[in-house]
Structure 1
């Protein structure tokens, strides 16, 4: 790991404050926080700022949890981020995805027209940092303006997190 998780003896009130908006009290410690959060708190101010945005994406977005997880699985796959794929397989199941839907999303395939066009948009964002006019028109048939905006920011947020995870060489919990 290039940046290891914060050692347990360095978890203080600043770290707790950085995680407060994302995690319940019982998870705000080195034993119960994920490896990614335990690593990000090496920089509490950055973590707090990022997690404020991420809480919106996870809990307040206009997108359904199911669609969000399909998109995250796809962007994590395109970014070659095994950590995100692993975690979001479980979160996808919690959001109601089947194993078949998870595997299809990883391949960029969706079961419905709205799933397929959302995943195509994720691919375009990854490949060219832009959704084409044709794809935007198709998205407009399934998603309102706020949902389209949330779609772009969801893909971008999780691409950014994948970049950090890969660059910091954050390991899965069972690989630490």
Structure 2
């Protein structure tokens, strides 16, 4: 892990603007340096950007039309092909909570899940990563399994987490120590 380029916002700088910025994703009791964690705590240095990003991210995590399982398959594959160890590690317990087994998580990482829908999601992530689009065959297959809102949530989940992974890596955000 690289050294941090920006540290999370210091406790004495958490003001109403910082607490408001993290409110789209965090409950009131987590709107503080410890509750926010290192990623959100670092983003809180730029309240306007943080509020806008977390509003988007909260939709993908809390209001997506995808099942939590499919979201986590897409997200894990996205942060594997555009590597972000922090997000991979952070989402492992979330993936387990969404019903993925260790073997299924390993298959997402290797790119060869046994489940046909998981395999399709992995293929879609790989295409988005490799060519920044989806082939007609993949689009058709996705449309056979998901409605249009789910396809949109899938595409935006991949992009959102790859963008967040780039920020986490570029900023040198460190894993939590608690």
Q: TM-score, normalized by length of structure 2?
A: 0.94
Q: 1:44 aligns with which of 44, 47, 51?
A: 47
Task: Report Cα offsets for 1:5-57 as digits up to 9, x if no partner.
Answer: 11111000001001112111221111221110010001011000000011111
The match for 2:167 is: 164
The match for 1:17 is: 20
Query: Superposed, which structure 2 residues align to 1:148-159 within 5 Å?
Result: 148-159=151-162
RMSD: 1.2
Shift of 1:111: 3.0
- Is structure 2 residue 101 aligned with structure 1 residue 98? yes
- Is structure 2 residue 60 aligned with structure 1 residue 64? no
The match for 2:7 is: 4
| In 2, Cα distance between equivalents of 1:24 and 1:80 | 29
Shift of 1:118: 0.9
| In 1, Cα distance between equivalents of 2:90 and 2:107 | 16
| Unaligned ranges ≥5, structure 1 | none
| In 1, Cα distance between equivalents of 2:28 and 2:114 | 38
| In 2, Cα distance between equivalents of 1:38 and 1:17 | 12
| In 2, Cα distance between equivalents of 1:24 and 1:144 | 31
Shift of 1:126: 0.7
| In 2, Cα distance between equivalents of 1:103 and 1:28 | 34
Task: Report Cα offsets for 1:103-138 as digits up to 9, x if no partner.
Answer: 111222323211111110001101111011111111
Shift of 1:66: 0.5
Query: Superposed, which structure 2 residues align to 1:26-41 within 5 Å?
Result: 26-41=29-44
The match for 1:76 is: 79
Q: 1:74–1:107: 8 Å Cα contact kept in structure 2? A: no
Q: 1:3–1:170: 8 Å Cα contact kept in structure 2? A: yes
Q: 1:87 aligns with which of 79, 90, 101?
A: 90
